Structure 1
Amino acid sequence: MAKPGSRSIDLLGKTVEYDVQRSTEASEPRIDVDIHGVTVVLPNSADVHPATLLKENAAWVVDKRQQYEAHREQVPDRTFAAGEQFPYLGEPRTLVVEPCRKHTVQDDTIRLRQSAVEQSSVEQVLENFYRSCARDYLTDRADDYAEQMGVDYEALELRNQRTRWGSCSTNGTLSLNWRIIMAPPDIVDYLLVHELAHLTEQHHGEEFWNLVAAYVPDYRAKDQWLTENSVKLIFSEDDL
């Protein structure tokens, strides 16, 4: 079923649904394809027709869409109950709800304060905890890499992005998807280096990738991991 407001186009004999977004943070037109679908992102000042961009990249779009449609079959069926496992920094952790002073990650568990769950829900409390952990962890790692790379960022914002893991605005604001806290630490580091590199190189040219490679030599493998495993980082059915 088509999403409200979505459009469709014929690419290589296949009907492809897509959305169009205008972004003040985008420096050039791009096509995002992920578990949620196809999105054409255009800078506010760009005079580019989305259909033209899609046709020019038809083979890539169709191939990526097919990959993600296969990944959708692997979407976790989460019930948000004590005893269920959720990833935290790449490791599965068993969810425990118990009387305690604060939420914590201990060994192979995520322990949530029972009184908070009773006032809300496991899903909401866990999301809030993930967001809190993400802000602390991502800020520490971003500060570390910014110093190594000799750049300064203005602010770090957590977003509920549906089509991207991160972005870096021209004014130096890092916008990161809070769900990345579920990924392994080396994947988190790659994402941060990628976005911080945009403070020096705005486009994805050779100079940009050379800069990323200086800090993450196997960046291609990390990027491929995100492509192949993003479905494992889906938090709830609301993400779909």
Structure 2
Amino acid sequence: MPETAPRKVTLQGENVAYEVRQSDEATQPRIDLDLHGVRVVLPDDSTTDPEELLKENAVWVLEKKRKYDAYREQIPDREFEEGERFPYLGEQYEIVVEQRPASQVVENEFRLAKHHVEQTSIKRALETLYRRKARELFENRANHFSEEIGVEYDKIEVRNQRTKWGSCSTTGTLGLNWRLMMAPSDIVDYVVVHELAHLREQNHTDEFWSLVAEHDPEYTEHSEWLEDNSTSLIFSTDDL
């Protein structure tokens, strides 16, 4: 998808930088916004003026841009070094590197195996530990709530989606984001309950939410917490 050098346009008195990309897959002109900025995507044969397209959608563009600007400012500035602290089930745990057979979470510390850090990095060793503990916790909570709800799931896949916390396939596979391990445990439970409930109700019907509420009475607060605190669960800039 060819792209041009960054351009600028004035929208309601505000200077906005944007890129233009040509796409043989695009069927019509569109505007994409995310953490990386504003892009106008045009079909190869398009005669649309990207600047005019942005001006026609100025209110929407500025609203989305401000949202992502605010989001970007909230992204944690994490350093992958000994002594740094990372969230684990809602609490801050310190990184310690030491001679040990395997990395483990002990007494509010991430005790990383020195040989693993030397072979890879603190970042990789820490993520590996998060993922391992995520599988342990996810399986424990899924087994607990599936019995409560009266459903059976097939398997759990520990995933790393950028914006999705959980999913449930029609075949019973639960996909759960390992970065949930940085959130409080009741948030983990909410996501597990939410996905298991889809094994009974595929859509977000009143019956679905009633089922979720039955096993997580504070699900509304937990959902809002995820919405408001998603930036605190960003592990590194690779997540963006």
TM-score, with structure 2 as normaliser: 0.75
1:36 and 1:162 in contact (8 A); partners too: no
Aligned residue in 2 for 1:187? 187
Does the Cα contact within 8 Å between 1:71 and 1:228 map onto a contact in 2?
A: no
Aligned-partner residue type, residue 17 of structure 1: L
Give the superposition deviation at 1:101: 2.2
Tell me whether 1:80 sits opposite 2:83 in the alignment.
no
Mapped to 2, the partners of 1:175 and 1:96 lie a distance apart of 30
Cα pair 2:33 2:65 within 8 Å, conserved? no
2:33 is the counterpart of 1:17 = yes
Distance 1:162 1:150, change over 3 A: same
**Counterpart Cα distance in 2 of 1:101 and 1:175:** 29
- Counterpart in 1 of 2:156? 156
> d(CA) in 1 for partners of 2:81 and 2:29?
41
Contact 1:75 1:231 in 2 (8 A): yes
CA drift at 1:116: 0.9
Shift of 1:60: 10
Amino acid at match of 1:128: T
Q: TM-score, normalised by structure 1?
A: 0.75
**Cα distance in 2 between the residues matched to 1:173 and 1:222:** 23
CA contact (8 A) 2:33 2:64 kept: no
Identity %: 50
2:178 is matched with which residue? Answer: 178
CA drift of 1:76 comes to 1.1
Contact 2:141/2:189 (8 A) holds in 1: yes
Any idea what the Cα deviations from partners look like across 1:131-187, whole Å, max 9, x if unmatched?
111001100000000000000001100112112001000111001111111111000
User: More displaced, 163-172 or 67-76?
Assistant: 67-76
How big is the alpha-carbon RMSD for the aligned residues of Structure 1 and Structure 2?
2.8
- Equivalent position SS for 1:201: coil
Is 2:234 aligned against 1:237? Answer: no
Equivalenced residues, count: 199
Matched letter for residue 165 of structure 1:
W
d(CA) in 2 for partners of 1:100, 1:181: 23
Q: Highest Rg: 1 or 2?
A: 2
Q: Which runs of 5+ in 2 are unaligned?
A: 1-17, 38-58
Matched residues in 2 for 1:101 and 1:170: separation?
Answer: 40
